[in-house]
Chains A and B, each alone.
Chain A
Amino acid sequence: MSIGALMGIFLGVALVNNLVFSGFLGICPFLGVSRKVDMAFGMGCAVTFVITVSGVVTWLIVHGILAPVGTAIGQPHALDFLKYVAFILVIASMVQLVEMYLKKFFPPLYTAFGVFLPLITTNCAILGTCLYIDMKPETQSLLNAAIYAFGGGIGFMVAITIMAGIREHIRFSDVPKCLQGAGITLLVAAILALAFTGFTGIGK
């Protein structure tokens, strides 16, 4: 696999098919934790970390356990119905593991992530990325899957940090009362999504 092709996968998922603006994944934290830039950046880092680890582990589970066992009993897709349950279990336990590991070995990082780590279990960006890695033809090798997951996390971080930067300024502007809070955030997200459609075609 050439570096260029890997770059293509990375840019494709980070910018062109940005998780938030064109994939509609992770909207809840995107709306909830985008009030301040430093919090948004912390959330973005935590998500990038967990998304990369769980992307790799779920790839290993599908290609290392579910598919070989299925092939062994003669039906390659026999265990596919276990995928969703397995994925969500992996993500929940990965989050827990990462939390314990950081607490023990990197206490400053752990305090910095704070409440974001446990929240990530129900972040649909993580499960969504794992599902896409399982579905897409270009992520059938482990390296590609890892790059795809990492790119997705970076895309989420970029989106939520930009949004937080804009929202810090919106506080000083005169927003109609009924649009304050979620309304204006969604309208700004619409304009940002419009801007991100400009990336269409990069990496082809």
Chain B
Amino acid sequence: MAEENGSNLQQFSDGVLANNPVLVQLLGMCPTLAVTNSLENALVMGMAATFVVVMSNVITSLLRNLIKPHVRILIFTLTIATFVTIADLALKAYMFEVSQKLGAFVPLIIVNCMIICRAEVVAIKNGVGRSLADALGIGLGFTIALSILGIVREILGSGSLLNFQILPDAFVDGHSWVIMVLPPGAFLTLGAVVGIVNQIRASRSKGGAA
């Protein structure tokens, strides 16, 4: 059992770094691009998706011996849809303004391929502990990736961070890069970040081999 504990930790850290869902596996792209125009939106989206992936992994893992193979995708989708509804109602009740800004992207967590991928790859085959560790790692990795994009786009696009102005007035008054909070800025930032991550990974694997 000790070995399994070690691998749980490994599973967790893999989700954050080596297998980061957004920056390495390129899953869950839609919310990544759509809601990262400010750090606040990115954090709330990350938390909502983490909640859903944790709950869906735990439930799928508990039910894994009851699910027939040919209906599994349907069961995954229904489980995820149930928890997304809970998350959506909770956001509307306690964080109404942010939930208005996120709009349709909260219900769209249902079709986030990152979550269904974790159910299919990990939860259906492993026990609750390992599935939970995996979900927490993936959720944290997703939140971190979204936050990186959110920080870059909010600073360059509105000159602020978490709605506090941090760049001088001369930048904010009419000279901020509005394009960064618009759709093209999202594609541009994600493309650049993916490029940087690839560069880091390439130089690391080279260093490891030498």
- Near A by CB (< 8 A), chain B positions 45-92 give 73-74, 77-78, 81-82, 84-85, 88-89
Our pick among B84, B113, B194, B202 for the contact of A177 (Cβ within 8 Å) is B202
Q: Is the interface of B mostly helix, strand, loop or mixed?
A: helix
Our pick among A28, A88, A177, A197 for the contact of B183 (Cβ within 8 Å) is A197
Contacts of B73 in A (CB 8 A): 92, 121
Taking a contact as CB atoms under 8 Å apart, the answer to whether A22 and B30 are in contact is no
A42 on interface, CB distance cutoff 8 Å: no
**Interface residue total, chain B, C-beta cutoff 8 A:** 43
**Interface residue total, chain A, C-beta cutoff 8 A:** 41
**Also in contact, A124 and B196, with CB within 8 A (given A81-B89, A187-B188):** no
B129 on interface, CB distance cutoff 8 Å: no
A78 on interface, CB distance cutoff 8 Å: no
- Near B by CB (< 8 A), chain A positions 81-106 give 81, 84-85, 88-89, 92
Contacts of B110 in A (CB 8 A): 84, 88, 127
Max chain B Cβ within 10 angstroms of own Cβ: one of A21, A27, A135: A27
With A131-B108, A183-B198 known, 4 other A-B pairs at CB within 8 A are: A85-B82, A179-B194, A187-B188, A191-B184
A residues with a Cβ closer than 8 A to B are 21-28, 31, 81, 84-85, 88-89, 92, 121-124, 126-128, 131-132, 135, 176-179, 182-187, 189-191, 193-194, 197
